[in-house]
């Protein structure tokens, strides 16, 4: 089975390539040109006779959440996150290639629904920032073309990309003797990129070809502060060195959702798998060894 993967150098993309996906980089296909004739030509060449892939997984995205608020980036963010996914999904549908598109908990905002359950695939979206808004538009275009949307949250990759993700940053601070203040009023579930890639690989091979699904690591929801404390603890440092603060104490250009927990039950039902608990993954990631920055 041929699986092609956009965003081949990203956290999730590189893990999918490690599992056997054929990576497509930005140099080969620049999603910021979505909407142009050149982009459509480049996309159709991916599905040309003789090289039609069985599955395409689109992990490429504008992921700089705060940068997406900058008006000078708006056109690019819109092209990459909102327009390109639909064009890719339509080309895949024409070629009878299964299309899997990665999306985000940031399509939601507001407090936890119904006493603390996770967001379900069919809950109404309400993005609080430009990243979430453009990702939500991308979702709609993919669904209209008959593709699969997979929402995930709080992706980290540790040794794969040191310093680029929250867990790596906290491990580095712990080791370097820095005592951070970390927000305690945003709650979600972290997702280890290699685990996410395994789940997506299973989905690529499963009999599921359309609709919305969620997948993150499993386990009890946790705040960023709770996650930071766990990273300190699991790497042999005193978790009390991490001080809780509020979102208001840490102003950022883009609003963040307070509740990022995604309901994993549909994933178990439709894909037949339960991802590992996030604490196991942090332990594994730390065990794999961080190159400290």
Q: Backbone phi, then psi, for 224, in 5-degree steps? A: -60, -40
**Residue 11 interacting with ligand NAP (CB under 6 A):** yes
Per CB under 6 A, which of residues 67..126 are in contact with ligand NAP? 80, 102, 104
Q: Give the nearest distance from C-beta 236 to ligand NAP in angstroms.
A: 26
Alpha-carbon span 222 to 271, nearest angstrom: 25
Q: Is 12 in the site for ligand NAP (CB under 6 A)?
A: yes
Catalytic option among 62, 131, 224, 278: 131
Please tell me the distance from the alpha carbon of residue 266 to that of residue 32, in angstroms, as a whole number. Answer: 32
What are the counts of helices (DSSP H) followed by strands (DSSP E) for the chain?
Answer: 10, 12
Residue 61 binds to ligand NAP (criterion: CB under 6 A): yes
84-94 helix and 130-144 helix, angle to the nearest 10 degrees: 20
Judged by beta carbon, residue 62 or residue 259, the one nearer ligand NAP is 62
CA proximity to 14, closest of 196, 148, 167: 196
Binding flag, residue 59, ligand NAP (CB under 6 A): yes
Q: Is 227 in the site for ligand NAP (CB under 6 A)?
A: no
Q: Any contact of residue 142 with ligand NAP (CB under 6 A)?
A: no
Q: Do 170 and 228 meet the contact criterion of CB atoms below 8 Å apart?
A: yes
Does residue 153 touch ligand NAP according to CB under 6 A?
A: yes
Q: How far is the CB of 240 from ligand NAP (least distance, A)?
A: 27
Q: How many CA atoms lie within 13 A of 185 on its CB side?
A: 10
User: Is residue 31 at the binding interface for ligand NAP, with CB under 6 A as the rule?
Assistant: yes
Q: Return the bridge partners of 155, or none.
A: 191
CA distance 79 to 76: 5
* CB 191, min distance to ligand NAP, A: 7
Residues labelled as active-site residues: 131
Site residues, ligand NAP (CB under 6 A): 7, 9-13, 26, 30-32, 59-63, 80, 102, 104, 135, 152-155
């Amino acid at each position: 089975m041929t699986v092609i993967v956009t965003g081949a150098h990203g956290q999730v993309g590189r893990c999918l390539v490690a599992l056997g996906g054929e990576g497509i980089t930005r140099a080969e296909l620049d999603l910021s040109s979505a909407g142009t004739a050149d982009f459509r030509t480049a996309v159709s060449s991916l599905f040309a006779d003789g090289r039609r892939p069985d599955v395409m997984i689109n992990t490429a995205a504008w992921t700089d959440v705060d940068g997406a608020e900058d008006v000078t980036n708006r056109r690019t963010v819109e092209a990459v996150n909102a327009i390109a996914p639909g064009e890719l999904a339509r080309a895949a549908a024409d070629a009878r290639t299964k299309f899997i598109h990665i999306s985000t908990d940031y399509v939601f905002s507001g407090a936890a629904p119904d006493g603390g359950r996770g967001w379900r695939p069919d809950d109404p979206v309400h993005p609080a920032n430009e990243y979430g808004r453009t990702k939500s538009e991308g979702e709609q275009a993919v669904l209209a073309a008959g593709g699969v949307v997979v929402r995930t949250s709080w992706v980290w990759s540790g040794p794969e990309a040191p310093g680029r993700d929250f867990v790596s940053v906290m491990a580095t601070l712990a080791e370097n003797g820095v005592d951070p203040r970390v927000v305690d009023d945003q709650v979600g579930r972290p997702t280890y990129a290699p685990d996410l890639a395994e789940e997506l690989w299973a989905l690529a091979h499963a009999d599921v070809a359309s609709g919305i699904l969620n997948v993150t690591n499993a386990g009890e929801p946790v705040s960023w502060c709770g996650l930071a404390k766990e990273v300190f603890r699991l790497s042999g440092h005193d978790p009390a060195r991490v001080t809780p603060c509020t979102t208001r104490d840490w102003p950022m250009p883009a609003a963040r959702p307070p509740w990022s927990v995604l309901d994993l039950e549909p994933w178990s039902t439709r894909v037949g798998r339960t991802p590992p608990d996030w604490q196991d993954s942090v332990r594994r990631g730390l065990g794999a060894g961080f190159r400290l920055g």
